[in-house]
Amino acid sequence: MKKIAIILSGSGVFDGTEITESILTLLHVAKAGAQYQCFAPNIDQLHTINHLTGEEMQPNRNVLVESARIARGEIKEIKELNVEDFDALILPGGFGAAKNLSDFATKGPKANMNPDILSICKSFAVSKKPAGYICISPALIPIVYGADSIATIGHDPDTASAIESLGGKHVQCNAKNIVIDEVNKVVSTPAYMVATDILEVDTGISKLIKAVINLCS
């Protein structure tokens, strides 16, 4: 049975993990007959957003504690993730990927990733173990995989330009489909970057999970 590590970035689309995308990820991993374990960094969020009003609120929240809401408490700190124990890696979307796992939301083409997250993602890449990046998370692909790595966030020109400035190659894609970088064994899908409903997101994430598992050696 394949074992999949899933990195969460909080709870809520505007400051953490996109909840629908994360739940669909967990569901499709399980439906594919694989096991998953959720992880998150034990750090403060960039900020906490009131999802009703869109306004910043206090006090700020912890990424690991908030991610535990999605994982029903079954979550570990990112520093406990041993790449040798897993066959593949998945990063659901939500702005937490661009705010908490990295500073892409504020720095765009000059972005850096949280050192612990970058180390884990690079370890999967070096080990030639497949990975799936969803929604805004594919913006991190060129940071992890370097020049000429292939990714999609859909068709937003500014985000696509930032990916290419980081050295990646952006491919336009709709929410029902995926883009596969065969060389790096990394799969991406735009999900709610372009989706108009949950069914489109479900289709894209289902395809991504199947492709990632198929790429497992």
User: How far does CA 56 lie from the centroid of its chain?
Assistant: 23
Buried b (16+ CB within 10 A) or exposed e, 85-102: ebbbbbbbbbbbbbbbbb
E-assigned strand segments in 107-202: 131-134, 150-151, 169-170, 179-181, 186-189
173 is catalytic: no
The backbone torsions φ and ψ at residue 123, rounded to the nearest 5 degrees and listed phi first, read: -65, -40
SS3 18: coil
By the 8 A CB rule, do 94 and 136 touch?
A: yes
Among residues 38, 121, 135, 173, which one is catalytic? 135
Residues marked as catalytic: 135
